[in-house]
Amino acid sequence: MEGINPAVITHHLNLDPTIRHVKQKNDTSNLRKRKIIQGDMNKLSTAGHIREIQFPEWLSNMVLVPKTSEKWRMCIDFQDLNKACPKDFYPLPRIDQLVDSMFGCELLSMMDASQEYH
């Protein structure tokens, strides 16, 4: 994203090197859903939240999940990738702890807030 140092937003996954890379087959069965996914991807690309990759080692499908508003939420099926990630051996923080830790922050991502989880 323009104006933000990549060190702030870059993330690296620790993957188990003994697990084979998985490229999920592209699901093109529903043209209407493919158009919805393409539209959402174009919006995210235009906003600078995602970019195209040329040589992916892992490839995961986009899936659409129905919202209560009769619209669709685009998600990514990371089941195969998750199998290659070591499990975390610490509990996740509680939501009230996360909210308190945001006090005084200058940058807060609202990318997902506009799309809701329901």
pLDDT tens-digit readout, 83-104:
888 887 878 788 898 888 888 8
Task: Kindly give the parts of the chain with pLDDT less than 70.
Answer: 1-2, 6, 28, 55, 108-118
Domains in the chain: ranges and CATH: 6-101 (3.10.10.10)
Phi/psi at 109 (5° precision): -80, 130
Residue 41 token pair = 């991807």
Mean pLDDT of the chain: 81
Report the alpha-carbon distance of residue 15 to residue 78 in Å, rounded.
13
Q: Return the residue matching tokens 């209407």.
A: 32
Q: Which two tokens stand for residue 40?
A: 């959402």
Q: Is the Cβ–Cβ distance between 7 and 79 less than 8 Å?
A: no
Beta strands in 1-118 (DSSP E): 62-66, 72-76
